[in-house]
């Protein structure tokens, strides 16, 4: 079989460039997308130097139709697509009361609408070949909240739900979908946080992405964080909570709020069914 083909969006600089180069070192052929065509071509050249075929693509992902054309060009050039890394991104940071319509629209279209479009564009090919790898990019801002990043955080949290759903839909087709929340000093990090991430290299995130794009990847529907050599899994935990009788009131919630919030003995439901199981199993007390 000819070597696998990966598309990395926003790969002209920063983390995307590191992902593209590490995937190239692993032997994948690359489509290096970036709205900055010069940067994309430069990184494609670096992939050639590593010894793999690579094509640059200067489309700006997010706008309607772009993802379909990007995947179409990939298939024309390489005849296949095996992995998609939805990395491209911008920030338009402002506290929520100052956000403009444009700030919201632009960030949601690149980080969420465009990502769904890219996934929809590759999915039929992944299903047909019964193989695919998707890596979506979240952020600590979306997972934990971050002042001045409401638009960005909303999109970055949303891709976690997208990733888990893709994992469920792709399971029987050997399509794995996972989410990465990276930390590295890049132009975007400089814009948002100054030199807070100084010394943290994008190269120390890339191997995680390469693993998640590999045939040997054993996980799907999971969320990982990586930065400065620390790689962790982040889970969605649910407390044991309480079971209140029908007709309970806000006063009952107030009385039980500490128990509801107590995360000791929490569960990590793998899917909707696991979350619903205790609810459907126990009859509500009268």
Ligand X SMILES: NC(=O)c1ccc[n+]([C@@H]2O[C@H](COP(=O)([O-])OP(=O)(O)OC[C@H]3O[C@@H](n4cnc5c(N)ncnc54)[C@H](O)[C@@H]3O)[C@@H](O)[C@H]2O)c1
> Which residues participate in catalysis according to the annotation?
152
Q: Considering only residues 31, 52, 83, 188, which one is a binding residue for ligand X as defined by CB under 6 A?
A: 188
Does 189 bind ligand X (CB under 6 A)? Our answer is yes
Cα gap 232→253, rounded to integer Å: 34
Interface with ligand X: number of residues (CB under 6 A): 31
Does 107 bind ligand X (CB under 6 A)? Our answer is no
Does 55 bind ligand X (CB under 6 A)? Our answer is no
Q: Considering only residues 22, 34, 55, 93, which one is a binding residue for ligand X as defined by CB under 6 A?
A: 34
Does 47 bind ligand X (CB under 6 A)? Our answer is no
* Least distance CB 39 / ligand X (angstroms): 6
Does 81 bind ligand X (CB under 6 A)? Our answer is no
Does 118 bind ligand X (CB under 6 A)? Our answer is no
Q: Considering only residues 123, 126, 131, 197, which one is a binding residue for ligand X as defined by CB under 6 A?
A: 197
HSE-CB of 164 using CA atoms within 13 angstroms: 15
Does 89 bind ligand X (CB under 6 A)? Our answer is yes
Does 12 bind ligand X (CB under 6 A)? Our answer is yes
| Residues at the site binding ligand X, with contacts judged by CB under 6 A | 9-10, 12-16, 33-36, 39, 60-62, 87-90, 110, 137, 139, 181-184, 186-189, 197
């Amino acid at each position: 079989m000819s070597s696998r083909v990966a598309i990395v969006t926003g790969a002209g600089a920063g983390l995307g460039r590191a992902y593209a180069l590490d995937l190239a070192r692993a032997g994948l052929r690359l489509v290096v997308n970036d709205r900055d065509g010069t940067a994309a071509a430069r990184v494609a050249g670096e992939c050639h130097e590593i010894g793999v075929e690579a094509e640059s693509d200067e489309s700006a992902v997010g706008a309607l139709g772009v993802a379909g054309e990007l995947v179409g060009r990939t298939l024309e050039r390489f005849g296949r697509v095996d992995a998609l890394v939805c990395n491209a991104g911008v920030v338009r940071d402002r506290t929520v009361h100052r956000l403009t319509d444009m700030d919201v629209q632009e960030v949601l279209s690149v980080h969420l609408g465009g990502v769904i479009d890219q996934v929809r564009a590759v999915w039929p090919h992944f299903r047909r070949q019964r193989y695919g790898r998707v890596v979506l990019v979240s952020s600590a801002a979306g997972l934990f909240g971050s002042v001045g990043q409401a638009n960005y955080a909303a999109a970055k949290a949303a891709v976690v739900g997208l990733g888990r759903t893709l994992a469920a839909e792709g399971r029987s087709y050997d399509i794995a979908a996972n989410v990465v929340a990276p930390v590295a000093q890049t132009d975007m990090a400089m814009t948002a946080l100054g030199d807070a991430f100084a010394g943290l290299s994008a190269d120390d995130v890339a191997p995680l992405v390469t693993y998640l794009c590999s045939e040997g990847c054993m996980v799907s529907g999971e969320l990982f964080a990586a930065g400065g050599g620390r790689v962790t899994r982040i889970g969605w935990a649910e407390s044991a909570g309480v079971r209140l009788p029908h007709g309970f009131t806000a006063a009952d919630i107030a009385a039980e709020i500490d128990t509801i919030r107590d995360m000791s003995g929490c569960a990590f439901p793998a899917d909707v069914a696991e979350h619903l199981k205790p609810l459907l199993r126990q009859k509500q007390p009268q």
